[in-house]
Amino acid sequence: MSQSASKDELKSRFELKTVLETSRMLIESRSSDFVLNNLLLIVMGKLLTSRAAILLYEPSSQSYSIQKSRGLSIENDTEKINIGFKDEQKQRSYAFYDDFSDKLPRLINNMEKSVFFPLRTSSNHLGFLFIGGKANGDAYSARELEFVESLCIISSVAIANSKLFDELRTTNRKLDRRIHELNTLFDLSKEFNLLADRQQITNIFKFALLGQLFVRTFFLIYKTPKSVSLLASSGLSKKPDKKEIKSIFEECPVDVLTPDEDCLERHPFLKENQIANITGISIQNEKIAVIGVGKRLSGEAFAETDFNFLKSLANLAIVSIQKTYFLEERIDKERMEEELSIAKSIQRGLLPDPIPEIEGIDLAAENISSREVGGDYFDVAKTPDGSTILAIADVTGKGVPAALLMANLQSMLHVLLPVEITLAEATERINNLIFRNTPIDKFITFFWGKYNSKHGLFRYVNAGHNPPLLLRNRSNTFEELSDGGLLLGAMESMMPYEQTDVEIQPGDLLVCYTDGVNEAINPAGDEEFGEERLMDCILENRNKKSAEIIREIEKQVREFTRGPLQDDLTLLVIKATG
């Protein structure tokens, strides 16, 4: 064997050993940076070149970036390079500079005898290894080019593997972070469920948000049933006024919004506090809150997973905050119901129970409130001279205010019972007291009479009330008891009230009622029960007892309305028995 052949064989063995060792070292490496560095150094040391670079392909931008370089004057190694390599050029074992020098960027021009080696796997193009000419000016031999080609094939597999490993490691980090976020949300969910204090909930939400997203500035705008307010915040240099709070809430969509210049100009508060993102939170398709966060302390941009965590955390907090409002409403409602129940029992105590018996009279009365407490009133009371006072009234409005005014009327009536004055004079005094001591929009329709059973005489005064209906025995015509004067509380008495006497004979029937009877509305809302239906009902049931007549009237009113009563209903029925 010649000495030259022996040298070539030794050189070939050395190159093969180098390839094998490099192959093992690169394949075992999980760092793309390590692979690229070693590929560059081995090639430059073996081929004695002082200039080389690795260009990796970025499919998203269809361009190349210089990842590693030696001996090149590059000001910005992150610059994107657009090289018009054709597909067939990417598939070559290598390509010389002269093949496409007109398409190379300025930073690697004027590189005669330089070579491009494609980095590729069986399915993907990864980039190129670029090497300049030899330092001594010699051309590369075929063996040297084959050696570099072999290294590029091995390195391509290593680069692909390291990329997969990097993606897997990134995915695992994201997964670990997601698991941590889910555990955080789970723990916070349990803690929120145990809390009923709104301030504690907002504090926990604030610290969890600041700690998890690494922000210093945030705000939470919440929509209550009554208003929109700033419920929680941190790091704000200046808090927004009510007008700006409302404007931000209304403008923010139920999605993540990065404020643009127009938005920042409309809302200086966002600009002053460097709010980077705002997002709306909805519960059951209704926007209930808006959250704004500043930039991260690290300067890192928010990812989609960060916003997902923010929304999940916000939903937990908002549901718990809503729970506190619902709890307060429930407590208030229960307290009000309890107070109304007490008021109802007090009001029922003001009505006569049992109703006093009157000689020669079948008397019955019924009071049905459309609410817990009402403004209708009736009374039956004995006077010192042995007569009986019968009264019915309707206070404007409903609920507690009407009930209080009704209670005042009842007390005034009972105070005047033992006083030796006429019904007309007593009515005038009651009117003046109510006018002076109640608001101008409160008044009472009032009817009362004094019945003397010995003489069968009924003396009455009607102060603006629905005229009671008097049906004489063996007659089908009604008389209306309308004499009297103005309703109570409308104005101070200018003219005396008129009192009128009517004789009550055996078989006569007197029905006193409030407007809850005649003004009851049908389901369509276009027709009232009216006086004619009331009169027909009385005629149909005139031979029944007073209590039965009341039940029949009430029954027909309910059948007409087909629903709950919209107004208080009170009836007082007097039937002379002889």
**Residue 276 is part of a domain; what is its CATH number?**
3.30.450.40
Helix (H) or strand (E) holding 471: strand 469-471
Q: pLDDT band at residue 550, thresholds of 50, 70 and 90?
A: very high
pLDDT reading at 110 higher than 70? no
Q: What is the mean pLDDT of residues 281-306?
A: 84
Residue 398 sits in the same domain as residue 273? no
Residue 24's Cβ-count burial label (10 Å; 0-12, 13-18, 19+) is exposed
pLDDT reading at 299 higher than 60? yes
Better-scored residue on pLDDT, 138 or 370: 138
Farthest-apart Cα atoms in the chain, separation: 161
pLDDT reading at 188 higher than 80? no
Lowest mean pLDDT among 10-24, 66-80, 353-367, 437-451: 10-24
* Residue 175 domain flag: no
* Residue 452 domain flag: yes
| Domains in the chain, number | 3
Helix (H) or strand (E) holding 251: helix 242-251
Residue 52 sits in the same domain as residue 199? no
Helix (H) or strand (E) holding 556: helix 546-561
Residue 159 sits in the same domain as residue 67? yes
* Residue 342 domain flag: no
Q: Can you tell me the distance from the alpha carbon of 529 to that of 519, in angstroms, rounded to the nearest whole number?
A: 6
pLDDT reading at 107 higher than 70? no
Q: What is the mean pLDDT of residues 199-216?
A: 83
Q: Can you tell me the distance from the alpha carbon of 228 to that of 247, in angstroms, rounded to the nearest whole number?
A: 10
Cβ atoms < 10 Å from Cβ of 150: 17
Residue 404 sits in the same domain as residue 282? no
| Structure confidence at residue 267 (pLDDT) | 86
Q: What is the mean pLDDT of residues 499-510?
A: 94
pLDDT reading at 53 higher than 50? yes
Q: Read off the DSSP letter of residue 227.
A: -
Structural domain including 218 reads: 195-326
* Structural contact between residues 505 and 473, judged by C-beta atoms closer than 8 angstroms: yes
Residue 115 sits in the same domain as residue 205? no
Better-scored residue on pLDDT, 360 or 109: 360
Give the tens place of pLDDT for each residue, 159-178: 888 777 777 776 666 666 66
Question: Among 148, 166, 184, where does a domain finish?
Answer: 166
What is the spatial order of strands in the sheet that 256-257 belongs to? 228-234, 218-223, 286-294, 275-283, 256-257
pLDDT reading at 11 higher than 60? no
Residue 162 sits in the same domain as residue 72? yes
Residue 52 sits in the same domain as residue 133? yes
Residue 12 sits in the same domain as residue 134? yes
Q: What is the mean pLDDT of residues 422-450?
A: 90
CATH number of the domain at 417, please: 3.60.40.10
* Residue 176 domain flag: no
Better-scored residue on pLDDT, 541 or 79: 541
Residue 436 sits in the same domain as residue 516? yes
Q: What is the mean pLDDT of residues 308-318?
A: 83
| Structure confidence at residue 10 (pLDDT) | 47
| Structure confidence at residue 54 (pLDDT) | 86
Residues above pLDDT 90, as percent of the chain: 23
Residues above pLDDT 70, as percent of the chain: 83
* Residue 181 domain flag: no
* Structural contact between residues 389 and 448, judged by C-beta atoms closer than 8 angstroms: yes
Residue 213 sits in the same domain as residue 74? no
| Structure confidence at residue 355 (pLDDT) | 87
Estimate to the nearest angstrom the gap between the alpha carbon of 247 and the chain centroid.
16
Q: pLDDT band at residue 85, thresholds of 50, 70 and 90?
A: low
Q: What is the mean pLDDT of the chain?
A: 82
Q: What is the mean pLDDT of residues 465-479?
A: 94
pLDDT reading at 1 higher than 50? no
Residue 140 sits in the same domain as residue 243? no
Q: Can you tell me the distance from the alpha carbon of 539 to that of 471, in angstroms, rounded to the nearest whole number?
A: 9
pTM of the model: 0.53
* Residue 171 domain flag: no
pLDDT reading at 244 higher than 80? yes
pLDDT reading at 139 higher than 90? no
Q: What is the mean pLDDT of residues 405-409?
A: 83
Residue 457's Cβ-count burial label (10 Å; 0-12, 13-18, 19+) is middle
* Residue 568 domain flag: yes
Residue 474 sits in the same domain as residue 385? yes
Lowest mean pLDDT among 19-28, 407-416, 559-568: 19-28
Q: What is the mean pLDDT of residues 138-158?
A: 83
* Residue 331 domain flag: no
